[in-house]
Structure 1
Amino acid sequence: MTTVFLTGFPGFLGSALVERLLDRHDDETTVTCLIQSKYRSQAETKAEEIEAEHDAEGRIELVEGDITDADLGLGEAYDDLQADSVEVYHLAAIYDLTMDREPGRLVNIEGTRHVLDFAEGGNVDRLHYVSSVVVSGIYEGRFTEDMLQEGQQFCNYYETTKHMAEVLVQQRMDEIPTTIYRPGVAVGDSETGETQKYDGPYAFVEMLLDQGDNAVIPAPRGASDAEFNLVPRDYVVDALGYLSGIEESEGKVYHLADPDPPTTTELIKTFGEAAGKSRTIVVPYPKGIVKGLLASLSPESDLLKSGGLEYQTWGASFDCTNAVEDLEGSGIECPSFDSYAENLVDFVRENPDIDEGAMN
């Protein structure tokens, strides 16, 4: 029996993608998810839910392993699974802007190398690799889908590892039929607001909900000119599910980003409207002085380690030509931020205790 091999289950994107893969493939094709043992119970529950909803009993197989091992932790099962796999989807990564170097290197870089070895040795029809727009680092200007190594610097080690991992993937595209997807900053579902983790732009939402009718939000100078590129989970998964199923996507890189994103200031004010504020005032401050103050008071602060201030004045904008052109006619397009901002805010208001350490 043939199978589709996937890493990153039961994560935020991986769980939703499995549903698309079951629907696309015939009943004789399974989806094999490589899971960490600590997520076994969560993965079993999620797999049972998906199988019941999609009348796909027995079509999701869970195998325990670890992408940091050369054999993916599969042992004797490695060769048979490699031979049976017709496609590989690599989503697993540590998504933590304050990550330590060694676990980041092992998972995001070496883990990707091991998945590449698995895909090449099995002669799969396609490898689908989920990268990120953060491979642009602090590049200034229009960052296109065919750009990668532009001499850019990076805000944190997460960005560095994602860039280095994509370099590995692109170096082997002559040997492995590959498609690369670079999502923008992923937030909750555009219809329900559902998410597994509050980070990044959710800090603005939490600050707004903690204030009264008139809210004051600080942002670095330049926030009114810098794009803040958000994408809802359903767009990323729908686009990935569609693009990975067409022949034209082989060899391409896709920016699954908002072609017309708000500026940081616009994003904050839109969140304010969604939170029901009569007035949202964005107060600019000098980023350099704040960074210097933080460094003197707390050199290891999460805000400094994450590069969080840099994202609010991101110098890069993202060209989405490949994605827009190849999604044309599919009915899939990135919704405008103002059309779903209220759903994100409502979800936060109704679910204040989401676990910040949730798997992504």
Structure 2
Amino acid sequence: MNVFITGSSGFIGKRLVPLILKDFEKIYLLVRPQSLKYAREQFGEHSNIILVAGDILSNDVLVNVEDLKEVVENVDSILHLAGGYDLEMSVLDAYTHNVVGVQNTLELARKCKRLKFFHHVSTYAINAHKKGKVSESEDTEGNISRDHYTKSKLQGELLVKKTDIGSGVKKRIYRPGIVVGDSSQGRIEKVDGPYYFISFLLKLEKHKAMLEKFGVFPIPCTKSSSLPLVPVDTIAMWLQVAILKPSESEETKTYHFLGKEQINLRQFVEMCLKELDIQCSVMPIRSNLLLRKALHKIGIPEQLTSYMFSEANFSTTNRRSDFPELKEFSIQELVPTLIEGARNYLKGKE
């Protein structure tokens, strides 16, 4: 079995590729022409990895006709991992990377003569505005998106669902939660999501006495604001299983790739405070004036605000039913590692 992967150099992709080296006869990795030298140094020793030059933003995706012919003739599965992730990205960047990029990859898939599965990585965020239980099969048509990134990811997912790739080709969509550092060392590549809170708390460590005297730590959220975190290495391991042993039932199927047990934002900050031995309670705030002050102090982008008040509870029924072997995880147990990973990252930026 042969697989074609986009986004192999990304946060998730670079952890997935080593896991699947023995699972596929040939692994075609899409690499930008300017990154080929680095990719050869990284994967040159693996005979079943074939680097193909190209870009999802190009109409044909692949640069060389010979590479295109080989991919079209040999690929059984496509995993589309590439795309842009930044809540502050412009509408043009979001549309180009997460809609046009998907469209071009789907067109490549339509040309593949023996394709059986098209795997697409989306995001939980397309349903974050909802309240209560959100099923994996819930219709996303007409969803509300409050930022360019989420809107583009929704459009990309809808493209996958609506595109006729070919007779018998099954489509599998995975919606990871908020991807955090790996479970062994907590390594990260940038500060975003929950790391705004962690980095702010690390700065407050030296003011611990003052914070404890104040007694409360105000954060913009409700008492039940959801925070569906998932470690990056867990996502990589889950994707390994998903693309190797996909469910054969149904033409299109969607999975929430996050834990069965989910915590809320308030609980997460409380866990971080406890780990840092800061004795104070978390105070959810909704006042516009206090909210603006809190966002400014913590350094949170305005686009993130709506997610901090999300009260969606994401079902994982499909994931657990089709992939019962996937190992669950505990965010509470991971908090020390996530904090240490953030601390190391911030030290490197000093």
What is the TM-score when the length of structure 1 is the normalising length?
A: 0.85
Query: Contact 2:255 / 2:316 at 8 angstroms: preserved in 1?
Result: yes
Match of 2:282? 282
Match of 2:51 among 44, 50, 62: 62
For structure 1, list consecutive stretches of 5 or more residues without a partner in the other structure: 52-56, 356-360
Match of 1:84 among 74, 93, 104: 74
Structure 1 distance, partners of 2:261, 2:164, is: 30
The amino acid that maps onto 2:329 is: P
Q: Deviations over 1:120-156 (max 9, x none)?
A: 2103121111111112141222211111425331121
* Residues 1:217 and 1:40: Cα distance change in structure 2 (over 3 Å): farther
Offset of 1:327 from its aligned partner?
2.4
Offset of 1:173 from its aligned partner?
5.9
Q: Deviations over 1:283-313 (max 9, x none)?
A: 3332544567899x9xxx9722xx2112211
* Residues 1:177 and 1:233: Cα distance change in structure 2 (over 3 Å): same
3-state SS of 1:231 partner:
strand
Match of 1:358? none
Structure 2 distance, partners of 1:322, 1:120, is: 26
3-state SS of 1:127 partner:
strand
Structure 2 distance, partners of 1:142, 1:3, is: 37
3-state SS of 2:29 partner:
strand
* Residues 1:46 and 1:289: Cα distance change in structure 2 (over 3 Å): farther
Query: Contact 1:8 / 1:91 at 8 angstroms: preserved in 2?
Result: yes
The amino acid that maps onto 1:338 is: Q
Q: How does 1:342-353 map to 2 (within 5 A)?
A: 342-353=336-347
The amino acid that maps onto 2:343 is: R
The amino acid that maps onto 1:241 is: Q
Q: Deviations over 1:154-211 (max 9, x none)?
A: 1211000000000010113673311111100000111221222221100111111111
Match of 2:306 among 300, 303, 310: 310
Match of 2:185? 192
Give the number of equivalent residue pairs: 334
The amino acid that maps onto 2:286 is: P
Offset of 1:73 from its aligned partner?
4.0
Q: Deviations over 1:297-343 (max 9, x none)?
A: 9xxx9722xx2112211121110001112222x2x233111011111
Match of 2:101? 111
Match of 2:112? 122
Structure 2 distance, partners of 1:206, 1:347, is: 11
Structure 2 distance, partners of 1:247, 1:108, is: 24
Structure 2 distance, partners of 1:293, 1:279, is: 22
Query: Contact 1:142 / 1:319 at 8 angstroms: preserved in 2?
Result: yes
Query: Contact 2:220 / 2:294 at 8 angstroms: preserved in 1?
Result: no
Structure 2 distance, partners of 1:211, 1:337, is: 22
Structure 2 distance, partners of 1:218, 1:79, is: 58
Match of 2:172 among 179, 186, 189: 179
Match of 1:203 among 173, 184, 196: 196
Match of 1:34? 30
Query: Contact 2:266 / 2:282 at 8 angstroms: preserved in 1?
Result: yes
* Residues 1:354 and 1:266: Cα distance change in structure 2 (over 3 Å): same
The amino acid that maps onto 2:54 is: G
For structure 2, list consecutive stretches of 5 or more residues without a partner in the other structure: none
Query: Contact 2:187 / 2:345 at 8 angstroms: preserved in 1?
Result: no
Structure 2 distance, partners of 1:354, 1:327, is: 38
Offset of 1:63 from its aligned partner?
2.1
Q: Deviations over 1:247-300 (max 9, x none)?
A: 4255321101122211111000112223x22314323332544567899x9xxx
Match of 2:160? 169
3-state SS of 1:163 partner:
helix
